[in-house]
Structure 1
Amino acid sequence: MEISQIGRRRVYFLSFTIVLSAITVLFVSNWGAFTVDLTEAFFGEKESLAKEVFWNLRFPRVILATLLGGTLAWSGALAQGLFRNPIVDPGLVGITAGSAFFASVGIVLGTSIPNFPPIWGVIMLSFVGGITTGFLVYLLARVHGKTEINTLLLTGIAVNALCFAGISILSYIANDAQLRNLSLWNMGSLGGASWVTLVRLGPLLLLPLIASPFLAGPMNVFALGEREAMHLGISVEILKSVLILLIGVTVGACVSLSGNISFVGLAIPHIVRLVIGQDYKYLLYSSFFLGGALLTLADGFCRTILAPAEIPVGIITAFIGAPVFLFLLNKRKRRLA
């Protein structure tokens, strides 16, 4: 009886996150300095202002926020499963710092490169930087053909420090305009959202929906421990490699499109785990949809609080996420006491 109650709770919570995500997309699409009549946006005249604002500005941004928030939360769930630690986020593997460093290189040094595209050049550098950094951390953590989790964590911390040192040097030599762009990029923003952005990198943000069914079973077994997983037929080293690759690709894509948005990958999967438990069959999907809904809401607040001005969404997520993180740390401390 207890098992069926837990199962129902998981199904209900997953259904709730899907409905919440869908409602949030429509609800937040109407937020901003200009109020859009959704009826006119869907059924009005072809050349109406409401259609123009909704379909070319609001809707692609809301879709991007949903996919970004979902992908960051999903990547956080993978990272927490990889380290078997519920207070870990993807940044510990060095991917976020690597993306930020390569983006900073593009912002500060890109102007000295002939025909360097100022927007897409930075985006692609950031994406490549995230994947490269994740791969480097993975290689450095390999010992005799095996990836030690503690070594992976320490290597990620060291690479993080190195990347942030590089960002500090670039900030020091940047001019005023470049320094402003660096600051805004590191605060995180969805202001550059467009259909072009979604078409070019959006498919990578759909990886969570495609990969989750194949990862849930192996990750449930891996949660028992590496030795137990090997005895049950799981190729632990291949699983670790796949997880690091997926975290690198998805987080690299997210950071390249929006800059540094903190705490989504940490807080959301942990909250979901508290509600429905450790079953990755539900945890991965629930994290994706809840993360998407919450980042979309946060971005909506950023656009409306000081409209027509806009607050970087990374500030809002940090304000919300930091207290949640402290709460989780305190709860973990009490449990261990």
Structure 2
Amino acid sequence: MSQLVSIIIPTYNRAHIIGTTLDSIVAQTYQNWECVIVDDGSTDDTLEVLQAISRNDPRFKIHQRPSNLPKGASSCRNIGIDNSDGDYIIFLDSDDTLEVHCLKTRVDIFNKKPSLDFLVFPMGVYSNEHILKANLDDTVNHLNEFLSYRLPWSIMCPIWKANFIKELGGFTITYPRLNDPELMIRALLMPYVSYQVISDVPYDSVYYPSISNWPLIIDKYFQSLELLIPDVVNRLNRSNRSELKVFLRGYLKVWYYSFYFPSNKNYLFYNLTLIKLFLNHNIISRWQSLWLGFYITLYVGLGFLLSKVKSNKIFRFE
């Protein structure tokens, strides 16, 4: 008998778009699947849409996040894991899709490599009305890449043995963001973990980027770093891999490259807090922390000066 694949989808207010995602699952050439969809408290018609689909195809199993669990995709994915019956698990977001050959290709290759814990497949990225394959590099150290926040693959790319992801404990639900790389770091630190990146096949899933609420993301990224950095450092120490924590500097680099907005009212507090956090865990040196602190203070000072010049409140005698 063929293996059952559980596709786990968290969703929130996706009534207008989730049908495209679910149609891509129904269209699979491999048909022994179940789709566990967990609604995160939608305020539109998402739940009604899902219940109607489930009545027509019982392979779609609909659940709701209980109010006592934190809101977010990670809580929903864990509920999906707990309510799945598959031999294999794939995580899919509710605005992305699977190519028709996805499940068949993944299961066929897994059947040839039954000792592995998970496999990773290429995805496509939708951009300017075209889909481009995001290349996978099977020659780099993937643990170091995730520790550096140079994310080598996305959440939809792996297919997991169900017992491995359950042994791993699923996702950490207390993080507002960074849940996916944190999961992958834990997976790659598991003793005797065995996996393979399958890079020489066509993409089998498609990621559709969406517009983000950047002010909200800045706050969530900061809050997540405060949780992630101590957790990962402690895990590296327990695994006798503490020398790898220097790679975590990548998360600080991403902060300055992508989330460095002096207009944010918490700008100075966020930056100084993160410098202290990375210094206290010996991820950056004292010299690096002093240089960053000086740079931030200078930037704030110049910003204040320029604002006064623009408002004509400096270089005037009153």
Q: TM-score under structure 2 normalisation?
A: 0.24
Structure with the higher fraction of residues in helix conformation: 1
Q: TM-score under structure 1 normalisation?
A: 0.23
Structure with the higher fraction of residues in strand conformation: 2
